[in-house]
C-alpha cells in the first residue's frame, strides 16, 4: 500500500498512508464488531496475575523451545527451509490466480460481464477500466489495483474500489490463508464473514475521509470535480455487500439446520 500502490502506481507518496489508514481502521472496527458478538469473555485476571503475565509467557516460551532437543544449526536450517517453502507457496498462489485472470480475459468472460453492466456503468458514469480492475482484483488484488490506477474515474472512485479490493483480499490471499490454517483447529468461516463485513465499512470510511480537506493535509488532489455521486453508488455497493453478508449467514444457518435434521434422521 505504501510503496507499490502509493508510489509505484500513483506516483504520490501521500496516497499510500491514506489508503493504509482507511484499510487498518476498517480492520480495527471489524475486530470490535467480532468481539462484541463473539459471546466469549476473557477470564478476569487478578493483580498478581496481571503482573506475572509476561513472566508466565516467558516461561511457557522457554518450556516449548526446541533448543533442548535440537541444535541451533538444525533449527536455523529448518527455519530457512520452511520460510522458503512458504514464499514459494505464496508465489504459486499469486501466479495461479494471475494466470486464471489472463485466461478469463482472453476467453472474453470479463468483456461479457462489462457488456452486461454497460447500462449500470453509464448511469453512474463509471469507467469500464475501473470495473474491470474490480473483476481482476476479485481474484488477485495487485493486478486489480494496477488496472484501477489506469482508470479515468475520479480519485475518490478509485480509492473506494481499492479499499473494496483490500477488504475482500482477493481469492489468491484467501487461498493462501486457507492453506496455512487447514491443518490447525482454526476455522476460516469468521475470516470470510469478516471480509464481507469490512467492505461496507471501508466504503463508508473512504467517503467520510473524502469530506476532509485532504488537499492541505496530504497534498492529495482530484477528490473534487467528480462526475459521479459518490454517496449514491458507494451506498449501492455497501448495500450489495450487506446483502451478500446476510445471504451467506442465512445460507449457513439453513445448512446447520439441515445438517441437524439429517443427523437426527440417521
Cα angle at 160 between 242 and 29, to 5 degrees? 55
Q: Return the C-alpha cell found at 133.
A: 480492475
Give residue 194's pLDDT: 84
Distance CA 185, CA 176 (A): 16
Question: Residue 99: pLDDT band by 50, 70, 90 thresholds?
Answer: very high
The mean per-residue pLDDT over the stretch 144-164 comes to: 86
Q: Which of 138, 113, 135 is nearest to 195 (CA)?
A: 138
Give residue 180's pLDDT: 80
Least confident of 118-122, 125-129, 141-145, 218-222: 218-222
Tell whether the model's pLDDT for residue 63 goes beyond 70.
no
Residue 184, helix vs strand vs coil: coil
Question: Residue 247: pLDDT band by 50, 70, 90 thresholds?
Answer: low
Least confident of 85-94, 95-104, 131-140, 225-234: 225-234
Are 17 and 2 in contact by the 8 Å Cβ rule? The answer is yes
Tell whether the model's pLDDT for residue 212 goes beyond 80.
no
The CA-atom distances, in angstroms, between 206 and each of 87, 146, 191, 197, 199 are 32, 19, 22, 15, 11
Per-residue model confidence as pLDDT tens digits over 106-127? 998 888 988 888 888 888 777 8
Question: Residue 265: pLDDT band by 50, 70, 90 thresholds?
Answer: very low
- Rounded to two decimals, what is the model's pTM? 0.70
Domain boundaries, the chain: 2-33+72-265
Question: Residue 103: pLDDT band by 50, 70, 90 thresholds?
Answer: very high
Give residue 266's pLDDT: 45
Q: Return the C-alpha cell found at 56.
A: 508466565
Are 157 and 126 in contact by the 8 Å Cβ rule? The answer is yes
Amino acid at each position: 500500500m505504501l510503496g507499490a500502490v502509493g508510489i509505484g502506481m500513483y506516483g504520490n507518496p501521500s496516497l499510500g498512508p491514506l489508503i493504509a489508514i482507511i484499510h487498518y481502521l476498517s480492520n480495527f472496527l471489524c475486530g470490535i464488531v467480532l468481539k462484541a458478538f463473539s459471546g466469549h469473555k476473557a477470564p478476569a485476571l487478578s493483580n498478581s496475575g496481571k503482573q506475572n503475565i509476561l513472566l508466565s509467557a516467558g516461561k511457557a516460551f522457554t518450556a516449548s523451545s526446541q533448543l533442548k532437543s535440537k541444535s541451533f544449526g538444525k533449527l536455523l536450517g529448518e527455519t530457512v527451509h520452511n520460510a522458503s517453502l512458504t514464499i514459494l507457496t505464496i508465489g504459486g498462489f499469486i501466479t495461479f490466480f494471475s494466470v486464471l485472470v489472463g485466461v478469463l480475459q482472453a476467453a472474453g468472460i470479463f468483456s461479457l460481464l462489462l457488456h452486461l453492466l454497460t447500462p449500470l456503468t453509464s448511469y453512474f458514469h463509471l469507467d469500464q477500466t475501473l470495473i474491470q480492475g474490480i473483476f481482476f482484483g476479485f481474484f488477485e488484488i495487485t493486478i486489480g489495483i494496477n488496472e484501477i490506477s489506469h482508470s479515468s474515474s475520479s480519485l475518490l472512485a478509485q480509492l473506494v474500489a481499492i479499499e473494496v479490493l483490500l477488504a475482500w483480499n482477493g481469492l489468491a490471499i484467501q487461498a493462501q490463508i486457507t492453506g496455512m490454517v487447514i491443518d490447525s483447529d482454526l476455522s476460516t468461516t469468521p475470516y470470510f464473514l469478516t471480509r464481507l463485513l469490512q467492505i461496507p465499512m471501508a466504503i463508508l470510511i473512504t467517503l467520510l475521509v473524502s469530506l476532509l480537506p485532504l488537499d492541505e493535509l496530504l497534498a492529495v488532489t482530484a477528490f473534487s470535480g467528480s462526475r459521479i455521486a459518490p454517496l449514491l453508488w458507494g451506498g449501492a455497493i455497501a448495500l450489495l455487500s450487506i446483502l451478500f453478508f446476510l445471504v451467506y449467514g442465512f445460507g449457513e444457518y439453513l445448512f446447520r439446520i439441515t445438517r441437524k435434521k439429517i443427523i437426527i434422521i440417521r
